[in-house]
Amino acid sequence: MLQPLNIVLLALLIITALVACLHRNLLVAVVMLSAFSLTMGVMWVMLRAPDLALAEVVAVGVVSTVFFVVTVFRTERREE
Amino acid sequence: MKKVLAVLFISALAVLLLYVAALLPPMGDADNPTNRQVVPRYLEQGEQEAGTRNIVAAVVFNYRGYDTMGEVAIFSAALAGIFAVVGTGRRRIGRALIDESQVKFSFVSGTAAVLLIPLMIVFSLYIIIYGLDLPGGGFQGGATIGAAAILFTAAFGFPRAQERIPHHARIILESAAIGGFFLVGTAGVIGGASFLTYILPSLPSEVQATVRTVMLFVLQFGIGIKVGVICTSILFALLREEETEDVEHAC
């Protein structure tokens, strides 16, 4: 099961999730969340769930990222 | 005293929840009821029972139709809440910070947006129309329409996007989508069938399959329109600046 691509994708998921949680610059965190969901979309395709992959990439990766970016620009750029 | 009580209460709750969780069947076991009965039934009889080749669509619209109905209602409630908090902006064309940006939108990005937006809309229609047979469906297609609207707003500015996608059109589309969902869901009840089964018992049995496919199409389009409109409305509500607000500090 553990092919090289799987390991790379899982490592990317962990890294992007950690950066999204820990980074002080909220814009970086939002972009990392988007990267997380794009990686997750690839994972869903590999797990034979293309429905979920489409929903993940479009709804989480694009639409809610834009909402987060707008919200960050209208509030504070950096975490306290 | 209060703290001791709180700790005791939380501990008791934790013990109770862990006890219940221990009673659940082991995760991923091949002998679980879901793997022995539910999944084989869906995979073997889904096409015949639900009328869709895509088993995910069969689950979403037929076997778990109530969940989908609840989701649709939640989307409407969320939109109503956002309108209640930030206002609808019905009367005038609002302004937004993105139109006052110092960085001009470049020619390359504008051309790319012009080329991309029609493709995105065609793709979203494709995955909505083929949602009953192929991966995809109303939600994914609707979110793609919403992404196209976001790209349009980013490329051509907020006032123009508001002119092209006006508030009253969005309200009409949204109401038509949720009304269509409930009408189609209740249509069978009048003839004696169950809610959300998409069967009209009064019709002869030869046309039943066709009627069901048409109804499922209506649902797919309804959900697609709904999700697209809601994405656009949330974006507009977030972008809109109040006239009285001091915009200097917001950057």
Q: How confident is the model at residue A42 (pLDDT cuts 50, 70, 90)?
A: very high
Does B251 have pLDDT greater than 70?
no
Mean pLDDT of B164-170: 84
Q: Find, among B164, B163, B165, B161, the residue nearest to B173 by Cα.
A: B165
- B58 inside 8 A of chain A by CB: no
Mean pLDDT of B138-163: 88
Does B247 have pLDDT greater than 60?
no
Residue contact A67–B143, C-beta within 8 A:
no
pLDDT at B47: 81
pLDDT at B216: 87
Q: Which residues touch B28 (CB under 8 Å, ≥6 apart)?
A: none
Residue contact A73–B235, C-beta within 8 A:
no
Closest by Cβ to B231, choosing from A55, A63, A73: A63
Q: Find, among B203, B193, B225, the residue nearest to B62 by Cα.
A: B193
B-facing residues of A in 18-57 (CB < 8 A) are: 50-51, 53-55
pLDDT at B244: 46
pLDDT at A1: 56
Question: Of B6-10, B169-173, B182-186, B245-249, where does mean pLDDT reach its minimum?
Answer: B245-249
Q: Which residue has the higher pLDDT, B53 or B12?
A: B12
* pLDDT one-digit tens code per residue, B61-99: 888 888 888 888 898 888 888 888 877 665 566 667 666
Q: Where are the domains of chain B?
A: 54-239
Q: Find, among B61, B16, B9, B39, the residue nearest to B217 by Cα.
A: B61
Q: Which residues touch B40 (CB under 8 Å, ≥6 apart)?
A: none
CA distance B224 to B136: 11
Mean pLDDT rounded to a whole number for chain B: 83
Q: How many residues does chain B have?
A: 251
Nearest CA of chain A to the CA of B10: how many Å? 27
Q: Specify the 3-state DSSP secondary structure of B185.
A: helix
Domain count across chain A: 1
What does residue B54 show for φ and ψ, rounded to 5 degrees?
Answer: -80, 115
What is the extent of the structural domain holding A46?
Answer: 4-74
Nearest CA of chain B to the CA of A39: how many Å? 17
pLDDT at B122: 94
Mean pLDDT of B217-233: 89
Rounded to two decimals, what is the model's pTM? 0.82
Nearest CA of chain A to the CA of B178: how many Å? 20
pLDDT at B116: 93
Task: Read off the tokens for B248.
Answer: 């200097």
pLDDT at B124: 93
Please report whether residue A69 resides in a domain. yes
pLDDT at B211: 84
Q: Which residues touch B110 (CB under 8 Å, ≥6 apart)?
A: B155
Chains A & B: contacts with CB separation below 8 Å: 46
**CB-CB contact of A40 with B129 (8 Å):** no
Mean pLDDT of B198-205: 77
Does B249 have pLDDT greater than 60?
no
Nearest CA of chain A to the CA of B135: how many Å? 5
Q: Which residue has the higher pLDDT, A73 or A27?
A: A27
Mean pLDDT of A30-43: 94
Nearest CA of chain B to the CA of A29: how many Å? 18
Please report whether residue A79 resides in a domain. no
Collect all residues of chain A within an 8 Å Cβ-Cβ radius of residue B143. Answer: 55, 58-59, 62-63
Closest by Cβ to A50, choosing from B135, B150, B231: B135
Residue contact B135–A59, C-beta within 8 A:
no
**CB-CB contact of A74 with B97 (8 Å):** yes
Does B246 have pLDDT greater than 70?
no
Closest by Cβ to B234, choosing from A55, A67, A73: A67
pLDDT at B219: 87
Query: Which stretches of B117-235 are assigned E, i.e. beta strand?
Result: none
